[in-house]
């Protein structure tokens, strides 16, 4: 009977030893299964086999109190900069000022060509328009292209581009102007936007990476911003000086200083602190640029979120510095109504003798509302991205070519459009390409959308010249 009882007793669920007639003797591993009829100390003493002692109780570590943050350094005095002198390589020419609004027609002269304003700027993230050769886009009327310093830093790197003779030679775009950003926007938006798209495309082309793509931004200090490469996981530091040095190697006609991109929902005190840091970073960027201007122009970037007071302070400070032009960046609200309302108040504050660029906004519905404020150039990846996803921009609204109603639409996609796509192919063919998942669809729709945006801006310029806007 006793032998049968011993066999039937269960094993210890932690170390699988057999209980037999007593608890498992492996006290160090099975403490959760000791008798709990008295205090913890008495239980350990009773259950502890001879020759073994209980582990000493862990001492609670006192958390070190963080020292209070140091006060931010003061803003550089504008009087410490040299006065602005127009560059022989860059100038803004006013052609016509509308009598009806602040809208204007102008030309920006650069070492690699003229930019008619108001103008659309396509985004070539990795020094290329996705699915389209730059020459095809130029043939549809594109003049200025936007390239992203963040992505070019990760690959191929400034040394490779400089070895080719700069971006214009590297891309084979020697007679058209280029603009590069500082890389700050992508670093501060690593979890969404264009960086998210690049990560996904990298995964699709190379397979899953062993490097984590979450929490890539590691911290922001007065020195700069630390982040990890989404390509190989390497740690990098982007400072105002290193950003400008990279853009010098790239050789774009227009470059931008490093700035901070705070989120839309942020406390007023944090927004003000972020604005101060952006101003200090931009001043450092400008000093680095002025030490070696080459044939490049630098724009200051107006920040301040949705606060009109902070936007005014930003305009006042930056306009006192010798920038060649200005851009409006940062958060502009949660929707188009917020953004238009903000720019309606900000644009009258901007200097009128220099060009003004609107960062990240260039959709057909918004541009006619912003041009009357006096904005000159607009960049956005929306038109080309929409094309890659099967959407054509038309005067009647967006057209999704995947719709089954276009299966037998044997006519030009947009009647009267003079782009290569509409002159050569039918809507039924584009529908077929989308359904068959053919890459050619992305190329043809991107060509059309670039043509549509350039034609839209040309029409707006004609309306300004006629004082209709």
Q: Are 312 and 347 in contact (CB under 8 A)?
A: no
Residue in 116, 259, 324, 379 annotated catalytic? 379
Annotated catalytic residue, options 116, 181, 253, 324? 181
Which residue do the tokens 């490097």 mark? 211
Distance of alpha carbon 150 from alpha carbon 259, whole angstroms: 13
Query: In sequence order, what are the residues at sequence separation of 6 or more whose Cβ sits closer than 8 angstroms to the Cβ of residue 43?
Result: 34, 35, 36, 37
SS in 3 state form for 361-410?
A: CCCCCCHHHHHHHCCCEEEECHHHHHHHCCEEEECCEEEECCCHHHCCCC
Tokens of 316: 């006042």
Q: What is the DSSP string of 257-300?
A: -------SS--HHHHHHHHHHHHHHHHHHHHHHHHS-TT-EEEE
- How far apart (Å, rounded) are the C-alpha atoms in residues 62 and 198? 43
Report the 10 Å Cβ neighbour count for 85: 7
Nearest to 287 by CA among 252, 327, 243: 243
97: Cβ contacts below 8 Å, ≥ 6 apart: 104
Among residues 456, 391, 384, 378, the alpha carbon closest in space to that of 417 is found at 456
- Catalytic (active site) residue 379: yes
Gap between the terminal Cα atoms of the chain: 104
Task: Confirm whether 181 is a catalytic residue.
Answer: yes
Residue in 124, 113, 115, 117 with CA at minimum distance from that of residue 149: 124
Catalytic residues: 181, 379
């Amino acid at each position: 009977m006793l032998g049968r009882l011993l066999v039937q007793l269960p094993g210890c669920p932690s170390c699988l030893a057999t209980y037999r007639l007593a608890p498992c003797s492996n006290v160090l591993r099975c403490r959760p299964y000791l008798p709990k009829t008295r205090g913890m100390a008495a239980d350990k003493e009773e259950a502890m086999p001879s020759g073994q002692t209980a582990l000493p109780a862990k001492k609670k570590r006192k958390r070190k109190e963080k020292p209070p943050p140091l006060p931010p350094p003061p803003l550089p005095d504008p009087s410490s900069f040299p006065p602005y002198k127009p560059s022989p390589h860059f100038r803004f020419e006013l052609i016509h000022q509308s009598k009806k609004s602040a809208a204007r027609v102008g030309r920006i002269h650069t070492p690699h060509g003229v930019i008619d304003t108001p103008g659309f700027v396509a985004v070539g993230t990795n020094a290329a328009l996705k699915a389209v050769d730059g020459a095809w886009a130029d043939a549809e009327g594109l003049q200025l292209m936007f390239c992203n310093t963040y992505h070019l830093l990760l690959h191929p790197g400034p040394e490779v581009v400089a070895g080719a003779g700069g971006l214009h030679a590297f891309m084979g775009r020697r007679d058209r102007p280029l603009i590069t950003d500082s890389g700050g926007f992508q670093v501060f938006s690593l979890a969404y936007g264009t960086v998210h798209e690049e990560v996904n495309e990298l995964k699709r082309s190379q397979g899953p990476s062993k490097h984590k793509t979450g929490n890539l931004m590691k911290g922001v200090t007065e020195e700069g911003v630390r982040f990890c490469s989404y390509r190989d996981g390497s740690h990098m530091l982007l400072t105002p000086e290193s950003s400008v040095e990279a853009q010098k190697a790239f050789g774009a006609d227009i470059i931008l200083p490093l700035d901070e991109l705070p989120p839309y929902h942020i406390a007023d005190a944090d927004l003000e602190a972020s604005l101060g840091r952006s101003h200090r970073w931009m001043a450092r960027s400008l000093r680095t640029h002025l030490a070696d201007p080459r044939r490049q122009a630098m724009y200051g970037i107006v920040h301040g979120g949705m606060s009109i007071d902070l936007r005014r302070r930003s305009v006042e400070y930056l306009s006192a510095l010798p920038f060649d032009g200005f851009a409006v960046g940062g958060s502009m609200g949660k929707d188009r109504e917020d953004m238009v309302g903000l720019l309606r108040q900000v644009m009258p504050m901007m200097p009128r003798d220099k060009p003004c660029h609107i960062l990240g906004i260039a959709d057909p519905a918004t541009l006619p509302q912003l041009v009357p404020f006096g904005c000159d150039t607009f960049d956005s990846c929306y038109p080309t991205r929409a094309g890659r996803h099967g959407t054509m921009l038309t005067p009647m609204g967006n057209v999704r070519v995947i719709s089954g109603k276009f299966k037998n639409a044997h006519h030009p996609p947009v009647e009267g459009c003079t782009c290569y796509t509409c002159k050569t192919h039918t809507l039924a063919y584009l529908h077929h390409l989308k359904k068959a998942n053919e890459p050619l669809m992305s190329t043809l729709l991107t060509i059309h959308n670039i043509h549509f945006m350039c034609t839209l801006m040309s029409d707006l310029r004609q309306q300004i010249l006629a004082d209709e806007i």
